[in-house]
Structure 1
Amino acid sequence: MADDKDYLEKSDKEQTAPDNTSGDEEEFEKICFMCRRPESKAGKMIDLPNDIHICVECMQKSFDTMNNAPIDYNDLMKNMPNVSMIDLNSLQNQIPKRQRVKKKKEEPKQENVAPKAFDIRSIPAPHKIKASLDEYVIGQERAKKVMSVAVYNHYKRVFADREDDIEIEKSNMLMIGPTGSGKTYLVKTLARLLDVPLAITDATSLTEAGYIGDDIESVVSKLLAAAGNDVERAEHGIIFIDEIDKIAKKKNTNQRDVSGEAVQQGMLKLLEGSEVEVPVGANSKNAMVPLTTVDTKNILFICGGAFPDLENIIKERLNKQASIGFFADLKDKYDQDANILDKVIVDDLKKFGMIPEFLGRLPIVFTLSGLTEEMLVQILKEPKNAILKQYQKLLALDEVKLEFDDGALGAIARMALEKHTGARALRAILEEYMLDIMYEIPKDENIGEVIITKEYIEHTGGPRILLRGQEIPRIGMN
């Protein structure tokens, strides 16, 4: 009787439990169990028990194979009496959720179409975009201004009315700047501000057909994953391709350039805008991964690279016509020019190894300047998520106040300049000097404040430590 009572209680719970799966399943497309294509590509599905779906084409191929095969199934069943039917329960949930495609929302056909969640009215004006970038990025005033205008114009183009047959071209960008100058950080901040999906990829991993590294279309697949497999949201996203200078044409080589010029050629259709089939939840196409179509015409592409030795190409061009005569410029005139990259033109990039067709699809070219000592000090303390503020918050959780002397900040900035890796060096330097402090502070509950001094950074002294309720500092740490 007890078993019967438990069974009845379990049955009542199952009947009254809300069905949360049906609504969730309706958001995703059905995927063929055999060819892995979604319903939008393969057509109407044949539904089998246990949430298994097969497209009409695969079902027909299965019937044709069985009918045309020279096998007598009656004899086969007689000779194999223990053969059992396939257990469909073991086949369900074979397609993981990360490889499932969300259905596209059907747009109403009425003239008064309801505005989308992300429309032209929700795009901040260029000055507001730049003001938001100013809160996170120090310096690079021209770069932030150019990006703000380009992004604003791009999304106006996306939502523009096309009744007058005037089609606005894409505002794809090429940013040039030394390592650590903030190229990736600018793009990340921009995507977070606009609340659009962002995919960051490295051009060094791309090859022409993907047989050595990732194929070219894998960058779109990464964007689709960043958008939660929502194709409509992905088509309004941003793709940032870093290290773009690494796919320049190889000079004086007779080998096939599968990771250089060939990659530039293959990226042309993506930059300009085309419909591409990309795998869902994977970087490479294979028979076990569903495919979906993404239109890249409204995806904003931003390419960035350090372009080493580009300065020499610019100097050579500038000195070419000014080296003969009484009024000729000196050949070393531009050697000390810190802003030499600002004088770059398309011909310089062609000479570097970028093909004209590729540069033509990146109409907006701008540069980022190298960081100075003053800028590095500002980066340490002024942005909203500055590195010093992060350490101060960590120690505040232990009820300890952390301060840095101006001399200490200057010393850290000078050390970072010597490493020639830009702002990235700041974190590594601080990690080194804060290690002992973060280790020792939790040992003593009497410590109330720590002041990082210039002497501590230069290894000629220690930090100043103030005990709780005391104004006399204690020098050094035991």
Structure 2
Amino acid sequence: MVSELDRFVVGQNKAKRAVAIALRNRWRRQALEGEMKDEVLPKNILMIGPTGVGKTEISRRLSKLAEAPFVKVEATRFTEVGYVGRDVEQIVRDLLEIAIAMEKIKKRKELHVKAQKLAEERVLDALVGEKASVATRESFRKRLGNGDLDDNEIEIVTNESNQMPSFEIPGMPGANIGMINISDMLGKSMGNKVKKKKMTVKESHEILINEESDKLIEQDKIIKMAKNSTENNGIVFLDEIDKISARSDRIGGDVSREGVQRDLLPLIEGTTVSTKYGPVKTDHILFIASGAFQLAKPSDLLPELQGRLPIRVELDALNSDDFKRILKEPDNSLIKQYKALLNTENVDLEFSEDGIDMIANLASEVNSTVENIGARRLHTIIERVLDDISFTATDKSGEKIIIDSKYVKKNLGELVKDTDLSKFIL
């Protein structure tokens, strides 16, 4: 797990170890039986570290590796029940919606071959009509398989559901649940709208396969599997948890901040949340909270909430050596991304070692003198360095451009020295 995370995130081994252990413990729990399985609760994590050091990226990559439902939310978006704002239970509802979408994608892959055959029949009906002879259909089927008919325009009938928009009523937790149930009822009574659309055979391919897959999918099974996946594999990433701490030196607004913490307590400890698909238990959902804690301390959080986040991991601030590794090592590093982007314009971009060193040192220097925004500073600096190349790329087709220390200095040197200007531009 850690070696897989190393492909995308540089350093921060303590944080990687903590999330890897949490995930492995989940797998171990699944192997248990009886009462013990229900008693083993996830060890929630609190990540402490400045912005741009990889807190969110570690959690996001973790969920992809585990193929688990994952939702990232900013703690500041929520308010205490009774105030205008989002209710914390909406986190679990969002997580369940993500799990349902994931289960549908899985099921669609399983049913792809069957759905493809049914979609092919619908395309043939549109091309030659339902009453065409077997020989004609087979002849067109062969041409369809060879791609000869991809550009032919056909008219297909697609279903459009009568979905009413859902909305939230401020101060009423879960007030948006009923809206979709009403639209489901209306959809059944009024029937789904049937709409005729004209498109090419190639364009219709994906639409028809998805439509046929959805017909084969049993919605009740999908919901059951999604609820199970949410309850046992769900990961919630609570960002900016430090912004809802009630600090002793701050006045005003702390009632609502403390209220959000109190609302989060039962969610993290384990409660049952009402959703339009039925109740969802949060006992075994893994919560990863994170914050910079520059103005506040973890001890400023409610003692009860601190107890719900037993694993503390401190992430290190990044230095110029880390920046060099970030630019070169990850599978989709910034340098590889820019090379690929400009390669589409037939421009061969090359970064020399001294050029990479210069970019890393400048990023570190600006972070220390202006504001430390971590690895995000590299985006700002590289965009500035490649500004001219990106703008004139169409005229430079076939050229090879080397980004060395001289080139970087020419485009950025004076800007870094002028601290006042750096504040606004870098």
- TM-score, normalised by the number of residues in structure 1: 0.56
Cα distance in structure 2, aligned partners of 1:171 and 1:184: 18
Residues 268, 415 of structure 1: alpha-carbon distance in 2 compared, 3 angstrom cutoff: same
Question: In 2, are the aligned partners of 1:376 and 1:423 still within 8 Å (CA)?
Answer: yes
Question: In 1, are the aligned partners of 2:265 and 2:305 still within 8 Å (CA)?
Answer: yes
Cα offsets for 1:361-389 (capped at 9, x unmatched): 11111110000100011101110010100
2:400 is equivalent to residue 453 of structure 1: no
5 Å-filtered alignment, 1:283-302, equals 290=276, 292-302=278-288
The size of the alignment, in residue pairs, is: 283
Q: Which residue of 2 aligns with 1:161?
A: 33
Decide which structure has greater helix share: 2
Secondary structure of the structure 2 residue equivalent to 1:241: strand
Q: Structure 1 vs Structure 2: percent identity of aligned residues? A: 38
* Residue among 360, 377, 388 paired with 2:307: 360
Question: In 2, are the aligned partners of 1:130 and 1:144 still within 8 Å (CA)?
Answer: yes
Q: Amino acid of the residue matched to residue 440 of structure 1?
A: T
* Residue among 44, 52, 75 paired with 1:180: 52
Q: Amino acid of the residue matched to residue 200 of structure 1?
A: K
* Residue among 227, 234, 239 paired with 1:231: 227
5 Å-filtered alignment, 1:247-396, equals 247-251=244-248, 257-278=254-275, 290=276, 292-309=278-295, 349-350=298-299, 353-396=300-343
Q: Which residue of 1 aligns with 2:394?
A: 442
Cα distance in structure 2, aligned partners of 1:363 and 1:440: 53
Gap runs ≥5 in structure 2: 102-225, 414-426
Residues 222, 443 of structure 1: alpha-carbon distance in 2 compared, 3 angstrom cutoff: same
Residues 160, 402 of structure 1: alpha-carbon distance in 2 compared, 3 angstrom cutoff: same
Superposition RMSD in Å: 2.3
Which structure has the bigger radius of gyration? 1
Cα distance in structure 2, aligned partners of 1:441 and 1:367: 42
Question: In 2, are the aligned partners of 1:151 and 1:171 still within 8 Å (CA)?
Answer: no
Question: In 1, are the aligned partners of 2:384 and 2:412 still within 8 Å (CA)?
Answer: no
- TM-score, normalised by the number of residues in structure 2: 0.62
Question: In 2, are the aligned partners of 1:247 and 1:263 still within 8 Å (CA)?
Answer: yes
Residues 159, 218 of structure 1: alpha-carbon distance in 2 compared, 3 angstrom cutoff: farther
Q: Amino acid of the residue matched to residue 50 of structure 2?
A: P
Residues 363, 460 of structure 1: alpha-carbon distance in 2 compared, 3 angstrom cutoff: closer
Secondary structure of the structure 1 residue equivalent to 2:335: helix
Cα offsets for 1:174-219 (capped at 9, x unmatched): 0101111100010011111111111000011111116332111121
Cα distance in structure 2, aligned partners of 1:460 and 1:149: 45
Q: Which residue of 2 aligns with 1:206?
A: 78
Gap runs ≥5 in structure 1: 1-128, 279-289, 311-347, 463-478
* Residue among 56, 67, 78 paired with 1:195: 67
Q: Amino acid of the residue matched to residue 56 of structure 2?
A: T
Question: In 2, are the aligned partners of 1:203 and 1:247 still within 8 Å (CA)?
Answer: yes
Runs (4 or more) in structure 1 with deviation over 6 Å come to none
Shift of 1:307: 0.3
